[in-house]
Amino acid sequence: MVNGNTTDEARRYSLPARLLTEKRIPLWANYAFFALSLCFGGWYSMRGMLAQLVLYTDLPAGVSNFLCNEVTAFVLGGLMPFLVYFIVTRFTYRMMLAGGGRALGDQAYIFRIFYGAGYLVYGAFSMIYFAVPVLELYGEVIVRFIVMAAAVSLYVLFECLHGLPKRGRAVALYAYGLVFSAIYLVYCVAELFMMIGG
């Protein structure tokens, strides 16, 4: 049996589904993809935040040079997305487990792929801001929310199609639909106010 399914049922899964349900992607690659995607997705907005910090504060030259470094912005760009991920998953993983979902480690393994993919897509979109910076104001709130909501929705759909019992589907929709949307919307709006305030 594979994740509660017979071998014949498991064979019916597509190759991408089997890569995730059978954890064929090495754990280090899973973490690396997740971390780099979050950093890439948050890179552009972090560049702006650090530039404002340096502009409106009287920091020593060495600190200012460190903060205005692209590598620093890239690495720090992943912190806020990770914080949102951490808060959301503290609620949702246990709710999914109570609804008959996968073990916590298996949930995390699969969700990191979907969440990271969402940030990878948003990071690619944010490259437009280099050419048209005014779009960042809308993109940081509207586009990022839509992209990440789509990524999370695809994760819920994946779980519903690959192993989540029917009794747990309503829990999954509630957990990710309500909890994720509420927390992520607060995050996006807070970032909007920070950009306007700057």
Question: Rounded distance, CA 117 to CA 140, Å?
Answer: 17
The answer for residues whose C-beta is within 8 angstroms of residue 88's C-beta and 6 or more apart is 179, 180, 183, 184
For residue 13, the model assigns a pLDDT of 62
Task: State the pLDDT confidence band at 2, using cuts at 50, 70 and 90.
Answer: very low
pTM, to two decimals: 0.82
For residue 7, the model assigns a pLDDT of 46
Q: What is the pLDDT of residues 67-98, one digit of tens each?
A: 888 888 899 999 988 988 888 888 777 777 76
Q: What is the pLDDT of residues 15-42, one digit of tens each?
A: 777 888 888 889 999 999 999 999 999 9
Q: What is the pLDDT of residues 160-171, one digit of tens each?
A: 888 777 777 777
For residue 120, the model assigns a pLDDT of 96
> Under DSSP, is residue 2 helix (H, G, I), strand (E, B) or coil?
strand
**Which burial class, exposed, middle or buried, applies to 47 when counting CB atoms under 10 A from its CB (0-12, 13-18, 19+)?**
buried
Provide the 10 A C-beta neighbour count for residue 146: 13
**Which burial class, exposed, middle or buried, applies to 2 when counting CB atoms under 10 A from its CB (0-12, 13-18, 19+)?**
middle
Mean pLDDT within 60-66: 82
Task: State the pLDDT confidence band at 192, using cuts at 50, 70 and 90.
Answer: confident
**For the residues of 104-163, what is the DSSP string, one character each?**
HHHHHHHHHHHHHHHHHHHHHHHTHHHH-GGGHHHIIIIIHHHHHHHHHHHHHHHHHHTT
Q: What is the pLDDT of residues 104-160, one digit of tens each?
A: 788 889 889 999 999 999 999 999 998 998 888 778 888 888 998 899 889 888 888
CA-to-CA dists, residue 78 to 95, 162, 181, angstroms: 26, 29, 19
For residue 170, the model assigns a pLDDT of 78
Mean pLDDT of the chain: 81
Residue 5's DSSP bridge partners are 2
Residues 41, 59: contact at Cβ < 8 Å?
no
CA-to-CA dists, residue 72 to 33, 126, 168, angstroms: 18, 18, 41
Structure tokens at 164: 């989540």
Of 51 and 164, the structure prediction assigns the larger pLDDT to 51
